[in-house]
Amino acid sequence: MLPFLDYSLIQSNPEIFIGYSDTTFLHYAIQSRTGLRTFYGPSVLTDFSDLPKPIQFTIDHFVRVLTEAGMSLSVEQKGFSTNRGNSLIHRRGDGFGEVEPLDIYMEALYHVSCVFRELNTPPPRGKTRFSFLSLRWVTTCKCHNSVSQFRNNLVDLALSGILHEFCGLVVGQGYRYDTYMQDELASMIEEVFDVIVGRSLEEQLPILMNVDFGHTSPILTLPINTLVRLDCDLDEFSVLEPGVRA
């Protein structure tokens, strides 16, 4: 698809582009070629077409992001999540930087590398980046990916050098993860950053777990490449600039 997109036409006729998972490569392509901001959030078929009606939280947050100058995302989504509440690991101060998506599943590295190769654009560098990991599980079957399978993906990313550039990380919810699996996932992520990435204890690297984006319901809308702050003292993830221009 990428070779056939008219980026000049897209740039001169900006529209709201929103989606998650399989559209991640389009977010990278559109932003790198046009400079336009895109949104990691709900899709028409899986969210806006929910029966008998869409989840109000999803709709309300979508409207907020597209109409308000800034917002704070509560880490506690009571009444929606079937798992335990969100938690921060790596409490080493606050994170401050720009946010970008990294959809993590079995072909994640392949998709990301293909996009940058096709666009002849290097991956973003510099420790002023936040990234959010969408944990994509196969929701059409009765099984879910184990923590060990996700570990393999994360280790691949660590060895590629991408994780060395982050100033913070926001992680989505694992499909059908119970409390034990969430604890195991948090410990594994901490281990990868400590052992493979080699971030020192003095470095600020807040990591927020179990956030409602990507393959979750309800789902947040996150403007990509906006300035954000993750405050460990307040347990708050805040978007500090408007998603769209008036």
H/E run at residue 30? helix 24-34
Residue 123 in tokens? 């991956």
Per-residue model confidence as pLDDT tens digits over 175-198:
677 788 888 888 888 888 888 887
Q: How far apart are CA 239 and CA 73, in angstroms?
A: 8
Alpha carbon 117 to its chain centroid, in Å, reads: 22
pTM of the model: 0.74
In a domain, 99, yes or no: yes
Residue 239 in tokens? 């978007």
Per-residue model confidence as pLDDT tens digits over 36-53:
989 988 988 888 887 788
Model pLDDT, residue 12: 96
SS3 48: helix
Peptide bond into 42 cis (omega under 30): no
Taking phi over 0 as left and psi of -120 to 50 as alpha, with beta for the rest, 197 belongs to alpha
SS3 content of the chain, % helix, strand, coil (to 5): 35, 20, 45
In a domain, 244, yes or no: no
Which one has a higher pLDDT value, 136 or 244? 244
In a domain, 6, yes or no: yes
Which one has a higher pLDDT value, 126 or 58? 58
Is the pLDDT score of 66 beyond 90? no
In a domain, 69, yes or no: yes
Is the pLDDT score of 4 beyond 50? yes
In a domain, 163, yes or no: yes
Q: 């109000």: which residue's tokens? A: 56
In a domain, 140, yes or no: yes
Is residue 76 within 8 A of residue 206, CB to CB? The reply is: no
- What CATH code is carried by the domain that includes residue 84? 3.50.30.60
Model pLDDT, residue 205: 73
In a domain, 246, yes or no: no
**Residue range(s) defining the domain that contains residue 117:** 2-239
In a domain, 245, yes or no: no
The count of structural domains within the chain is: 1
pLDDT bin (cut points 50, 70, 90) of residue 213 is confident
Q: How far apart are CA 72 and CA 119, in angstroms?
A: 33
